[in-house]
Structure 1
């Protein structure tokens, strides 16, 4: 019997290796971000939501830079080669992708923190309030 899961066969192992390997070049997860922040992050974590939402709660160590305010002049504050990780409210929000796209268009290396703030909370990690 064929189900909706098996109706289309899975990719070959070689294709799966390529696909899943590439996925990690585009995103990271909340656990790895938390662990990296605790060890001394080698990236800049950008909360791309509004300042009001950022003040209510955000990931400790994040910098608030709404995706619409990501400009070449603003990004010049960081040295060349800085890696950026964007996040927004969660999987239901495309702000992290919007911010990542703006950064990529400026020629900057970027990943998205999968799950956003929702994922952070789901992992049980603490939030910070205020600016």
Structure 2
């Protein structure tokens, strides 16, 4: 008797390769973000898309606070059009990062999701920063 895992056969290897390699165009992970910041080489802007209050309680060092509902063309105008944004939220149980990524993509901005979010960051054993809500991205509007 087949398990629920094998009831639906695995994709052919070529399709699996295209799927999994394709995911790298849409996401990065906590380790890669940490590595870029540790080397002083972040070639992206890291956005914590949770509320300013949650950001203030704890966030990834180097991240800016910009709640996903506040991502607007006016706020993004401060950045060159080819700026890569990496977004994260609380973790896998939260879809805020997907909402933020969709808003950025609608504005024609390159974007990736940091899978795992803050939960993944903590799970990796990385330091969490604490800040005041004043650390929020300000709007030129």
> By the TM > 0.5 criterion, same fold?
yes
Question: How far does the alpha carbon of each residue in 1:68-126 deviate from its partner, in whole angstroms, 9 at most, with x for none?
Answer: 11000100111121000000011111110000000000000000000000000000000
Secondary structure, aligned partner of 1:93: coil
Question: Aligned partners of 2:107, 2:56: CA distance in 1, in Å?
Answer: 27
Question: Aligned partners of 2:52, 2:85: CA distance in 1, in Å?
Answer: 19
Under a length normalisation based on structure 2, what TM-score does the superposition of the two structures give? 0.90
Question: Aligned partners of 1:3, 1:67: CA distance in 2, in Å?
Answer: 39
Q: How many residues are aligned here?
A: 131
Q: CA RMSD in A?
A: 0.8
What residue ranges of structure 2 are gaps of 5+ in the alignment? Answer: 133-141
Shift of 1:65: 0.5
What residue ranges of structure 1 are gaps of 5+ in the alignment? Answer: none
Secondary structure, aligned partner of 1:46: strand
Secondary structure, aligned partner of 2:47: strand
Under a length normalisation based on structure 1, what TM-score does the superposition of the two structures give? 0.97
- Runs of 4+ aligned residues of structure 1 deviating over 4 Å after TM superposition are none
**Corresponding residue number in structure 2 for 1:112:** 113
Question: Aligned partners of 1:8, 1:90: CA distance in 2, in Å?
Answer: 28
Shift of 1:37: 1.3
Question: Aligned partners of 1:51, 1:6: CA distance in 2, in Å?
Answer: 44
Shift of 1:2: 2.0
Matched, 1:71 2:69: no
